[in-house]
A and B are shown apart, each in its own frame.
Chain A
Amino acid sequence: MGKGIGFAFDPDWMDVLTAPFMANAFAAGLCIAVAAGAMGYFTIARKSTFAAHALAHIGLPGATGAVLLGLPVSLGMGVFALGGALVIGALGRKVSERDIATGTVLAFATGLGLFFARLSSSASSQMQSILFGSILTISDGQVLGFAVFDVLLLLVLAVIYRPLLFSSLDEQVARAKGVPVGLMNVAFMAIMAGVITIAVPAVGTLLIFALVITPAATGNIVARSPFKAMLVASVLCLVSIWGGLVLSAMFPAPPSFIIVTLSTLFWAIARGVQHLRR
């Protein structure tokens, strides 16, 4: 087979795909797709895509700090992301002020994450997988945690779906009509922290946007109702992750790269078609 740069096809790819760690990766992909597809829509409707992106970075020092202390990466990530989410949620939705505060904390958190990583060699070695994801190393326990999160997410969404939608699309009217918009804001940010925490192992903190926001943006272009847009986003997210797993088994490219490439490709095609139709 061709060596060199060789984007060589691996004839044994089926063996790779049927390996036990792949089962976990596929299961994790499904859990992530459900959560990201549902919440991505609200993130865009609330104009909170930057805040969602920032949560992943705010989780970074939690992740590297957890490694430093010998705790699970997801735990540290989750705790920091949740803390960041509640602070950003408390800042309200006045976009200009909030974005500056969010961006400042984002930069500081990333620096802190680097500092923690440098304090120990094990954290340092995990830095790359936290930044760029390592979906192939997801454990049974993590998959179980993801599944539990998904069930909780769907239960909560079933209860708050319409008020959350109303307050996301038209906060002023929703508030006048008696929707508890402050509570909805905190609930949204807290759920988002969870979504980010389970999505980071797949593509890492740096590429998370393409997995949580981009499919939802594509769904918005393709579908005509919020619910359908969420379904489309989930399917696209799933196809991106599973496609990334399959293609990375066939070709020597990291799954994260192929996942974000597929997600970006779907979005670019949808935008292109939309543009031509107008």
Chain B
Amino acid sequence: MTIHSTQRSDDCIVFRDAAVTRGGRLIWQHGDFAIPQGSVTAIVGTNGTGKTTMMMAELGLVPLSHGSVTVLGKPAGAMNRQIGYVPQSYAADIDANLTAEQSVLLGLTGTRFGIRPVTKTQRQEAAQAMRFVGLEGKERYRLSEMSGGMRQRVAIAQALVCRPRLLMLDEPLANLDLASQHALVHVLARLNREYGMTIQMVAHDLNMLLPILTGAVYLLDGHPHYSAMNEVLDSDLLTHLYGTRVQVVTTPQGDMFVTPSPDQTGDAPVDTHTAAEVVAFHHHGAEAGAGRED
């Protein structure tokens, strides 16, 4: 296997011809890219293209059927203690009583066996993480008394409390109202700016994230590609990607927006295929570095 792009020491996540097969079905293959440290990336693609699977592969929780994934310089899974992970399930009903502070503390103490009383330092760490996400004064609230947005902040504080170098969020914007979405993006921007934290998230709606994104991994045609932001924001590419007509608009403020045009109905032919179709017919040459054949 020739390595076509020079691997730099400051790459956070490196895919080398990686492929995942689940239950006999090829999810994606030929993942071959490097995401730099300090970047903010979104994993985008239509439903069922394996976005969450990709995150799982980066955490070493889903085995690769081919190739390798390196995260923070070690094989996927080896550096998980330095990764903060916020799954989508934070919104699920909590049947047990637990306060916000106790939940955050589990991020520090939850993996440790044996009798270990919570130390003062650990409490301070938890308080600091909660302050960062704007949960000050809510330490004693029960999770069951909190809204979805608040619970997500608890989940993020829990992920931050161990001072991760990489933060992964699965669909962080889903189920949040506009104000909460703004607040979340603000928190992520600060984490990236002030602590240089690398952030990766699975996202459907890029608009809200555009101000902070430095790049995106798009699961377009059965394999993941990484691009810096200006390359991703291409109408044809996004239309292909989302399976519905998408436009890119540059506004006077300089922001770029990705907008599905309202007149788009089902009758206009759009050049799209389901993920399963594409995986089946779209085979690059096995050698690394093959570009997309358009």
Contacts and interface: CB of A to CB of B under 8 A. Distances in A.
A103 interface: no
A174 interface: yes
B116 A176 contact: no
A224 interface: yes
Contacts of A172: 85, 87, 89
Contacts of B83: 176
Contacts of A225: 97-99, 102
Contacts of B158: 173
Contacts of B95: 44-45, 47, 220
Interface stretch (A63-71, A109-117, A156-164): A156-164
B111 interface: yes
A163 B113 CA distance: 6
Interface string A146-185: 0000000000001111110110111011111111000000
B96 A45 contact: yes
B110 A175 contact: no
A162 B106 contact: yes
A220 B89 CA distance: 21
Interface in A239-273: none
Contacts of A162: 106, 109-113, 116
Interface string B27-40: 00000000000000
A163 B112 contact: yes
B227 interface: no
A61 to B, nearest CB: 30
Contacts of B280: none
A207 to B, nearest CB: 22
Contacts of A163: 110-113
B280 to A, nearest CB: 28
B140 A224 contact: yes
Interface centre among B83, B96, B112 (most CB of A within 10 A): B96
A179 B106 CA distance: 12
Which of A163, A170, A226, A229 has the most chain B CB atoms inside 10 A of its CB? Answer: A170
A44 to B, nearest CB: 5
A169 B94 contact: yes
Given A45-B96, A178-B80, A165 B115 contact: no
Chain A binding surface SS class: helix
Contacts of A158: 114-115
A223 interface: yes
A52 to B, nearest CB: 13
A177 B81 contact: yes
A179 B86 CA distance: 16
Given A173-B158, A224-B99, A226-B97, A166 B110 contact: yes
A169 B98 contact: yes
Interface in B162-216: none
Interface residues of B, number: 32
A18 to B, nearest CB: 39
Contacts of B130: none
Nearest to A174: B110
A178 B81 contact: yes
A188 interface: no
B290 interface: no
A41 interface: yes
A276 B80 CA distance: 44
A175 B95 CA distance: 20
Interface in A108-130: none
Interface in A4-63: 41, 44-45, 47
A178 B96 contact: no
Given A161-B115, A176-B59, A166 B106 contact: yes
B114 A159 contact: yes
Given A163-B110, A166-B110, A166-B111, A173 B87 contact: yes
Interface string B90-127: 00001111110011001101111111100000000000
Contacts of B99: 224-225
Contacts of B111: 162-163, 166, 174, 177-179
Contacts of A161: 115
Which of B97, B102, B111: most chain A Cβ within 10 A?
Answer: B97
Residue from A172, A178, A223 whose CB has the most chain B CB atoms within 10 Å:
A172
Nearest to B143: A169
A168 B110 contact: no
Interface string B212-228: 00000000000000000
A220 B97 contact: yes
A226 B102 contact: yes
B142 interface: yes
Nearest 8 pairs between A and B by C-beta? A166-B110, A45-B96, A172-B87, A176-B85, A220-B97, A176-B59, A166-B106, A177-B111
Given A165-B110, A166-B111, 19 more contacts: A158-B115, A161-B115, A162-B106, A163-B110, A165-B106, A169-B96, A172-B85, A172-B89, A173-B86, A173-B87, A173-B158, A173-B159, A176-B59, A176-B80, A177-B80, A220-B97, A221-B97, A224-B140, A225-B97
14 contacts: A44-B96, A45-B96, A161-B115, A163-B112, A165-B110, A168-B96, A170-B106, A175-B61, A176-B85, A177-B81, A179-B111, A223-B97, A225-B98, A225-B102
